[in-house]
Structure 1
Amino acid sequence: MAIREVTVLGAGQMGSGIAQTFAQHGYQVGLYDIESTAVDRGIAGIEGSLTRFVRKGSLTEEDKSRIMQQIHPSTDLGIANRSQLVIEAIPEKMELKTAIIQALDSICMPDAILATNTSSLSITAIAAVSGRPDLVIGMHFMNPVPIMPLVEIIRGLATSDATFEQIQTITQQLGKTGVEVQDAPGFVSNRILMPMINEAIYTVYEGVAAPEAVDQVMKLGMHHPMGPLTLADFIGLDTCLSIMETLHQGFSDSKYRPCPLLRKYVSAGWLGRKTGRGFFVYDQ
């Protein structure tokens, strides 16, 4: 099956980035969200991202116009009915993801591949609610999607070889490197990254150092391009908490216990860049 049309579910930071990336590589892309305001924000974000590429000389204005015309915003989930590939990038909650995968069964073509951009949840569990578990797979893009070259491709227990190979091929066509990963909490990227971020939060919680000092140590001492607390704010502290909870629950190991300060910030609505405040304060 040749993949010509793609639908992305969720017009947030990840979903809009995925939609932009596919459109930049010639695909017709549906961009769905439940609310029109969310879709409008996603489209505005894509236009802003493309404008930055134009300013850097990576794209022309004509390229930008063509790419925008290939993205079709909608609040109707039925937009997915013509797509050979549907990628969900909705919030990191199992009940939301399983509900939308179930809904897609009656909407999508019988041979359409259903991919999830989950950053930590079980592909096998998500696929189990579908009538096509062999066609369900994980495509974990990195943020910001148009720039970062990695995609973790995660097999569920029932994912077929044909599905994996097709997703590996399309990942290469996007100019990205697909790395095969088996289904385990946090996969590889977040199983390694999130405990480091969580430990950085503990150093602040325990008064070992201020956030600025923690980030400075990791940037200057470990040559990280971005400090772990700045990165946490960029990812979203609510997303960090969700991933740590998945790791803690999945492994039943206290080393994955989310820091109480992370919980407190999320409870306060201090989620990082997207709310203007996390471990640092941002000018909205």
Structure 2
Amino acid sequence: MIIKNIAIIGAGVMGQGVSYQFAKYNYNITLIDIADSALENARKNIRNIERLDKMLHKSTSNVNVLDKITFTSDLSTLSTADFIIENITENITLKETLYQKIKAHIADHALLAVNTSAVSITRLASFLKHPQNVMGIHFMNPVHLKPTVEVIKGYHTTSETIDATQELLQAVNMTGVVVNDMPGFISNRVLMLTVNEAVFALQDGVAGAADIDKIFRECFGHKMGPLETADLIGLDTILYTLHVLLSSYNDTKFRPAPLLTKMVDAGLHGRKSGEGFYKYN
């Protein structure tokens, strides 16, 4: 399958990162969001990602990334896409509403990837006309610095869809690890337990946030500790994912720490809000 045109739905942090990564490798990108302010913010942030990537990480791409990206709120532009990546909030109701709107615009040959860390690919695929063309890709943040992703195979996902997805990822210097569709897949099924237990340890006064993270960095060689990771991901996202896992598995091991819920209620969402377990300028 030849893929030239990629549509990305959702212009938040992940949508910006995914847009940059594929545009850098000369794909035609359509970035779609319902809010003009989100699109304008995405334009500014993608320009900054490109500047820093070239300055700090020595990107050798000679592509002017913004020349490859069309910013729009028009869902009908999906009709020209060979590959669609959906990045909206991880809320099954919101996603179902979106899929009901977009299914009439998606070309029969187009593949759709759900950029998700927990939501069922099989369930989302059932909302579309061609569930065999749907798979999950769990990108990590920041996308251009995290070259390995989970590729999630739903119940109806064909091997042809997985193969085409793997070829596309390889074309942008990324690697996909194929996993089956279970809530949380591998990364978040394990990571959320670790983060949540670290919050419980902080809540119980076993150690402070800095010392908890230091143990993971210096004893286990992790680049970031669990609470630093939570701030990067977003505490609101962590909490929502835990709720999804708790509901999906009906297992109390996924119950969110009360401190995590309190912090989210207080608007302490991590780096994106300026404060989480740490403060950011």
TM range (shorter): over 0.9
1:122-137 matches, cutoff 5 A: 122-137=120-135
Please tell me the residue identity of whatever aligns with 1:76: D
Q: Which moved more, 1:222-231 or 1:178-187?
A: 222-231
Deviations, residues 139-170 of structure 1 (Å, cap 9, x unaligned)? 11111101101111111111112111111111
2:58 & 2:75 partners in 1: Cα distance?
33
1:249-264 matches, cutoff 5 A: 249-264=247-262
1:184-203 matches, cutoff 5 A: 184-203=182-201
Aligned length: 281
Contact kept, 8 Å, 1:151 with 1:171, in 2: the verdict is no
1:173 positional shift: 1.1
1:63 & 1:102 partners in 2: Cα distance?
38
Q: Which runs of 5+ in 2 are unaligned?
A: none
1:264 & 1:57 partners in 2: Cα distance?
37
Determine the structure 2 residue equivalent to 1:113: 111
Contact kept, 8 Å, 1:4 with 1:84, in 2: the verdict is yes
2:49 & 2:168 partners in 1: Cα distance?
22
SS at match of 1:146: helix
Deviations, residues 84-112 of structure 1 (Å, cap 9, x unaligned)? 11110011101111222222210121221
Determine the structure 1 residue equivalent to 2:69: 71
1:223 & 1:151 partners in 2: Cα distance?
21
1:56 positional shift: 3.0
Structure 1 residues 152 and 131, CA gap change in structure 2 (3 angstroms): same
CA RMSD of aligned residues (A): 1.3
Deviations, residues 48-93 of structure 1 (Å, cap 9, x unaligned)? 0110122236246x825x2210011111122212101111001110
2:96 & 2:112 partners in 1: Cα distance?
11
1:26 & 1:151 partners in 2: Cα distance?
20
1:280 positional shift: 0.9
2:131 & 2:79 partners in 1: Cα distance?
18
Determine the structure 2 residue equivalent to 1:215: 213
Determine the structure 2 residue equivalent to 1:52: 52
SS at match of 1:175: coil
TM-score relative to the length of structure 1: 0.96
2:144 & 2:245 partners in 1: Cα distance?
27
Determine the structure 2 residue equivalent to 1:102: 100
Please tell me the residue identity of whatever aligns with 2:271: R
Please tell me the residue identity of whatever aligns with 1:53: D
Contact kept, 8 Å, 1:101 with 1:114, in 2: the verdict is no
Deviations, residues 156-201 of structure 1 (Å, cap 9, x unaligned)? 1111121111111111111111111000010011111111011110
SS at match of 1:100: helix
1:9 & 1:59 partners in 2: Cα distance?
25
Structure 1 residues 57 and 195, CA gap change in structure 2 (3 angstroms): closer
TM-score relative to the length of structure 2: 0.97
1:102 & 1:29 partners in 2: Cα distance?
22
1:1-284 matches, cutoff 5 A: 1-56=1-56, 58-59=58-59, 63=62, 66-283=64-281
Structure 1 residues 57 and 272, CA gap change in structure 2 (3 angstroms): closer
SS at match of 2:62: helix
1:23 & 1:68 partners in 2: Cα distance?
8
SS at match of 1:282: coil
Structure 1 residues 5 and 258, CA gap change in structure 2 (3 angstroms): same
1:10 positional shift: 0.7
